Amino acid sequence: MKDYLLSVTSLPLLHYAGFHPQANYRAPHHHPDWIELLLITEGSGSYKINENTYTTAPQTLVILNQGVWHEEIPDRNNRNAMYYLSFSNFPITGLEPGEFISKERNPTLVLDKHYPTIVRQFQQLVTENECGLPESQAMLQHQLGLLLVCLVRLIYHDRSMPGRKRNDHTQVTAEVRKFIQENYSTPITLEDMAESVYLSTYHLCRIFKQTAGISPVQYLIQYRIDAAKYYLSQPGYSNDRVAEIVGYLNMGHFYEQFRMLTGQTPGEYRRQFS
């Protein structure tokens, strides 16, 4: 996406804002109704967001899109402090509803030289949220809008912004997953996957397994079976045709892997939709 246009017809809605002087471990969870921003001021740790793990340090902003599953794992040997807030009603042209960071971007941003400005805006928001003064809600909405516009500028328009790309291992894994998603219907091999990111098969398997938890071949199989389930739920596709569409040349191999992953034969799965 090249252009990110912000709606000016309404102001964003703040749901909560505050400061954690000592952040603790939080089990996997998600926020189905709002986007959450976390600004790390002290300490380090890691965040598991969907299938990827990201390390954090002071001056890191963590962006959690609406509905995204995440797990917060602070370093218990250090004090971990952060500002936090959540909001909704902030559409960005080109993104899905409930998204503030696009899927291909790293959801953790090292703010570097921009940190003093952003942390000051968080501080002002939290102070206003706790003051209880007249017209505080209107003030909060305008302060929040200013913060979010500043972040949109940094994320999408500032080419010098540190942390714009994921670490190399995560980037490689994302690129290989994209390659598989776009080519699963062809007889691609591990060598093809490795060539797509200019790595040896050995290094690709090591990096992919470390990042995604499974091998690239296992991911390919899972993706093909997920695609097969979609086609089997639609009328007009025979089992053999589905196998061919999702990249299987050997029908027996398709049936075996489908049953191994789903516990059903393709025919049994199809009958659920009859």
Q: How confident is the model at residue 94 (pLDDT cuts 50, 70, 90)?
A: confident
Average pLDDT over residues 227-240: 92
Q: What is the pLDDT of residue 164?
A: 40
Q: What is the pLDDT of residue 159?
A: 52
For 188-226, the pLDDT digits (tens) are 999 999 888 878 888 899 999 999 999 999 999 999 999
Q: How confident is the model at residue 124 (pLDDT cuts 50, 70, 90)?
A: very high
Reference 266, options 209, 223, 227, 212; nearest CA is 227
Residues of the chain within CATH 1.10.10.60 domain(s) are 168-273
User: Over 70: is that where the pLDDT of 131 sits?
Assistant: yes
State pTM to two decimals: 0.57
| pLDDT > 70: percent of the chain | 93
User: Over 70: is that where the pLDDT of 114 sits?
Assistant: yes
Distance (Å, whole) CA 201 – CA 41: 40
Fold exhibited by the domain 13-157:
Jelly Rolls (2.60.120)
Q: What is the pLDDT of residue 77?
A: 72
Q: Which of 52-56, 161-165, 264-268 has the lowest mean pLDDT?
A: 161-165
User: Over 80: is that where the pLDDT of 44 sits?
Assistant: yes
Neighbouring-strand partners of residue 92: 6
CATH architecture for segment(s) 168-273: Orthogonal Bundle (1.10)
Lateral strand order in the sheet of 52-56: 26-29, 70-74, 45-49, 52-56
Distance (Å, whole) CA 256 – CA 176: 25
Q: How confident is the model at residue 99 (pLDDT cuts 50, 70, 90)?
A: very high
Q: What is the pLDDT of residue 233?
A: 92
Q: How confident is the model at residue 169 (pLDDT cuts 50, 70, 90)?
A: confident
Structure tokens at 177: 């997953």
Provide the mean pLDDT of the chain. Answer: 88
Distance (Å, whole) CA 18 – CA 31: 17
Q: How many CA atoms lie within 13 A of 253 on its CB side?
A: 9
Q: Compute φ and ψ for 54, nearest 5 degrees.
A: -125, 135
Q: Which of 13-17, 100-104, 106-110, 160-164 has the lowest mean pLDDT?
A: 160-164
Reference 51, options 24, 80, 28, 84; nearest CA is 28
User: Over 60: is that where the pLDDT of 2 sits?
Assistant: no
For residues 162 and 196, the model is more confident at 196
For residues 77 and 115, the model is more confident at 115
Q: How confident is the model at residue 163 (pLDDT cuts 50, 70, 90)?
A: very low
Q: Compute φ and ψ for 199, nearest 5 degrees.
A: -125, 160
